């Protein structure tokens, strides 16, 4: 298997030019990232500190798949029952207020009937 000397030189030149182009792209990306880091370095540090302070927890999909949904369902059910209890207590207060108003109305009309009866006699 003989290799043509001219072809090998051309392919080597092509590889070298491809490597040079790739190196130029890397250098340009590096320069632009260095420039971005210099211009927004303080902003990046502030954002990072804010993120650290917030102490948020990120879950991987695998971790989420391993979590049980029973505590979530239990907390939702607890919340639902608490809302129902508050609703029924409000309803009871409204009915009690209506009963008081009805008693006051009864007393008012009984008083009016007594006044009409006394006026008749």
Taking only the tens place, the pLDDT of each residue in 23-58 is: 666 666 665 555 544 555 555 555 555 555 555 667
pLDDT band at 68 (very low <50, low <70, confident <90, very high): confident
What is the predicted pLDDT for the residue at 31? 59
Assess whether pLDDT exceeds 80 at residue 12: no
CA distance 39 to 42: 8
pLDDT band at 78 (very low <50, low <70, confident <90, very high): very high
3-state helix, strand, coil in the chain (%, to 5): 90, 0, 10
What is the predicted pLDDT for the residue at 17? 60
CA distance 121 to 117: 7
Q: Is the dihedral of CA 102, 103, 106, 111 positive or negative?
A: negative
pLDDT tens by residue, 98-118: 999 999 999 999 999 999 999
Assess whether pLDDT exceeds 70 at residue 11: no
Please, are residues 56 and 50 in contact by the beta-carbon 8 Å criterion? Answer: no
Q: Where are the domains of the chain?
A: 1-56, 59-121
Please, are residues 44 and 37 in contact by the beta-carbon 8 Å criterion? Answer: yes
Task: Count Cα neighbours of 109 within 13 Å in the Cβ-side half-sphere.
Answer: 5
């Amino acid at each position: 298997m003989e290799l043509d000397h001219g072809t090998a030189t051309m392919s080597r030149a092509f590889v070298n030019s491809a490597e040079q182009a790739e190196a130029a792209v890397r250098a340009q990306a590096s320069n632009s990232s260095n420039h971005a880091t210099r211009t927004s370095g303080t902003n990046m540090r502030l954002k990072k500190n804010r993120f650290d302070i917030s102490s948020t927890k990120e879950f991987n999909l695998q971790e989420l798949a391993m979590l049980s949904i029973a505590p979530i369902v239990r907390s939702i059910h607890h919340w639902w029952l608490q809302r129902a209890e508050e609703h029924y207590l409000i309803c009871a207060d409204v009915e009690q207020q209506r009963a008081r108003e009805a008693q006051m109305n009864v007393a008012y009309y009984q008083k009016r009937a007594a006044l009409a009866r006394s006026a008749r006699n």
